[in-house]
Amino acid sequence: MSPVAISDAVKAQAEKIKGEANALFAAKHYKEAIEKYSAAIDLNPNVAAYFSNRAFCHLKLESYGYVISDADAALALDPNFTKANYRRATANMALGKFKEALKDLRVVVKNAPGDKDAKLKLDECAKIVKRIEFEKAIEHDDHAPSAADSLDVDAIVVEASYDGPKIAEDKKITEGFVKDLVARFKDQKKIHRKYAFMIILGVRKMMMESPSLIDIKVPAGGKLTVCGDVHGQFYDFINIFNTNGWPSEKHAYLFNGDFVDRGSFSLEVVLTLFAYKLLFPDRVFLARGNHETDNMNKVYGFEGEVKAKFSDMMMFKIFSETFNSLPLAHVIGNKILVVHGGLFSRDDVTLDDIRKIDRLALRQPGNDGLMCELLWSDPQPQPGREPNKRGVGIQFGPDVTKAFLERNGLDMLIRSHEVKEEGYVIEHDGKCVTVFSAPNYCDSVGNKGAYINITPDMVLDYVTFEAVPHPNVRPMQYASQFSGMLGM
C-alpha cells in the first residue's frame, strides 16, 4: 500500500482522535471506538496501528471478517507489524480456519521468540491442524466405519453403584426418565455414559432419516415455541420450560441451533433436547446451527466439555456425526421459514433447493454454498448483499428477504445467530425476525433472552426473559486456550 502525503497538522489531529478511540476501547465501548479509529484512518491512512487497533475492536464484537480485512491493511502498510498477524490469527481461529491461523502464529513466534503464550498457541494450533488432517484422511476412507457403527452400547455395563435415571430394557424414553434427567443435571451430576450414548444414537438414527428441510404445523389447540441460541446456558434453558411450559403433545418446541459452546453446561442442554426429541419426535424440532460443527466445538468448548465430563473421545465423535445429521431448516404452516443464519448469495434459491442439500454427504458446512449460508448469514438494513462481517456467509438486505419470500410463497423468515439486547429484533419491514434465547450471554453482555409463541392461526407472541442464577462455573470453562485470544 503506497503512503498518502499527509500534513503534520492532519497527522496530529489523527493521533488525537486515536487517543480518544483508545479511551473508548478501554471503557469497552467498542462500536464507538471503531468510529473514532475510522475517523483517524480517514485523516491518515498510513498508520498500521490504526487498522490493527480497529481490528481489535472488531474482534471484541466477533466481526471476524472485518478483523481480517483490517489486519490485511495493517500488514500491507507494515509487513513487520506483528500485532496484526496475531489479530488475523485470532480471527481465523475463531472461524475454525486453523491452517490460516497457523501461518500467522508462526510469524508471531518468529518475530517475538520470547513470547511464551504465542508459542503455546502455535503448538496447540499445529496439533489441531495435524489432527484435522488425520481425521479427514480417515473420513474419506470408505472402509472406515462411523464412530456410531463401531460402538456396542449393549456391552457397556452400568455399575450397581449408579444411582441416576435409567432407560428401561425396551430402550424407550419415558417422561419420568426425562424429568429425572433434568433434575440430576440441575444438581450438576452426570448420567451414565451408557444412557448418554443411547440418547445420542437414538437421535442420530431419527435425524438421518429426516429431510434437510422439515415441514411442521402448530398443534391444534396448542402452540409452537421457537427458541434461538441457548449456547450451553442450561439453567436459563430450563427456565424457558419452567415459565413457558414443558414440551407435550399440545406444546411443540423448535430450537433453532447453537445448543452448545460458550456456556459450560452444553452437554446438559443437548442431552435434554435429544431426550425430549426421542420422547416427542413430532413435537420437538432441532435445527443445526453454526456451532453444531467440529471447528467451532474445538475452539468454543463443547469438545473439551465432553472430554472433561465423560473422558470419552468416542462420545464427541458420535455427537459430531449426530450434528451432521441435523436438519437445516423448518417451514411452519407453509408460511414461515426458520433457519439458524439466513439467506443466500444467489437470487434463485427455492425451498426445494434446501430440501435437496445432501447434508449427510457434506457433513461440515464449509466456507461457501447453500449449507454454509443457511448457518452463517446475517441480515443488514441496507438493500442488496455484502460480505458478512463474520467472514463467513453473506449479509442480505430487505429486498433480498422480500424477493426470497415472494418466490417461495412465504410470509416471514425467523432466524437466530445474533445476540440482541431485548432478545429479539424485527427487521426488513416485519419480514425478518431474529430471536436469541441466551440471556446475559456469556455472563457478560446483559441482554435479555426471548422466544416466540405461535398459535394454530399463526399469531406470533414475543416473550422476553432475564437470566437466572447458575452454579459458579464460568463460561468457556472447557474451551481451548485460544479462548483467551478471543477475549473470553
Residue 157 lies in a domain: no
Which residue stretches of 227-279 are H helix? 234-244, 266-279
Domain boundary among 83, 104, 139: 139
Q: Is the same domain home to 190 and 58?
A: no
Residue 369 lies in a domain: yes
β-pairing verdict for 329-332 and 336-339: antiparallel
Q: Which three cell numbers stand for residue 326?
A: 441435523
The yes-or-no verdict on residue 483 having pLDDT over 90 is no
Q: Give the model's pLDDT for residue 485.
A: 56
Q: Give the model's pLDDT for residue 141.
A: 59
- Give the C-alpha separation, 284 to 300, whole Å: 26
The yes-or-no verdict on residue 184 having pLDDT over 60 is yes
Q: pLDDT class for 481, splitting at 50, 70, 90?
A: low
Q: Is the same domain home to 119 and 179?
A: no
Burial of 140 (C-beta count, 10 Å sphere; 0-12/13-18/19+) = exposed
Specify the range with the lowest mean pLDDT, choosing from 74-78, 121-125, 252-256, 459-463: 121-125
Q: Is the same domain home to 174 and 90?
A: no
Q: Is the same domain home to 316 and 442?
A: yes
Q: Is the same domain home to 122 and 185?
A: no
Domain boundary among 105, 139, 173: 139
Q: Is the same domain home to 300 and 439?
A: yes
Domain that holds residue 86: 8-139
Mean pLDDT, residues 350-366 taken together: 96
Q: Is the same domain home to 40 and 170?
A: no
User: What percentage of the chain exceeds 70 in pLDDT?
Assistant: 97
Q: Which residues contact 89 (CB under 8 A, 6 or more apart)?
A: 100, 101, 102, 103, 104, 105, 108, 121, 125, 485
Encode pLDDT of 9-38 as tens digits: 999 999 999 999 999 999 989 999 999 999
Residue 249 lies in a domain: yes
User: What percentage of the chain exceeds 90 in pLDDT?
Assistant: 87
Q: Is the same domain home to 76 and 201?
A: no
Q: Is the same domain home to 457 and 339?
A: yes
- Average pLDDT score over the chain: 94
Q: Torsions phi, psi of 375, nearest 5?
A: -90, -20
Q: pLDDT class for 140, splitting at 50, 70, 90?
A: low
Residue 360 lies in a domain: yes
Q: Give the model's pLDDT for residue 117.
A: 85
- Give the C-alpha separation, 390 to 272, whole Å: 30
Residues assigned a catalytic role: 291
Specify the range with the lowest mean pLDDT, choosing from 111-115, 221-225, 371-375: 111-115
Which run of H or E residues covers position 378? strand 378-379
Residue 152 lies in a domain: no
Q: Give the model's pLDDT for residue 318.
A: 97
Residue 286 lies in a domain: yes
- Among residues 409, 255, 237, the alpha carbon closest in space to that of 330 is found at 255
Q: Is the same domain home to 401 and 342?
A: yes
Q: Give the model's pLDDT for residue 457.
A: 97
Cβ-contact 296, 486 below 8 angstroms? no
Residue 151 lies in a domain: no
Q: Give the model's pLDDT for residue 486.
A: 54
Q: Is the same domain home to 328 and 432?
A: yes
What is the CATH classification number for the domain harbouring 23? 1.25.40.10
CA distances from 93 to 67, 169, 483 (A): 12, 44, 9
- Give the C-alpha separation, 413 to 458, whole Å: 13
Q: Give the model's pLDDT for residue 488.
A: 44
Cβ-contact 52, 74 below 8 angstroms? yes
Residue 147 lies in a domain: no
Q: Give the model's pLDDT for residue 326.
A: 98
Encode pLDDT of 447-468 as tens digits: 999 999 999 999 999 999 999 9
What is the CATH classification number for the domain harbouring 419? 3.60.21.10
Residue 157's CB is within 10 A of a number of other CB atoms, namely 9
Give the number of domains in the chain. 2
Cβ-contact 64, 94 below 8 angstroms? yes
Domain boundary among 139, 154, 176: 139
Q: pLDDT class for 312, splitting at 50, 70, 90?
A: confident
Q: Is the same domain home to 372 and 478?
A: yes
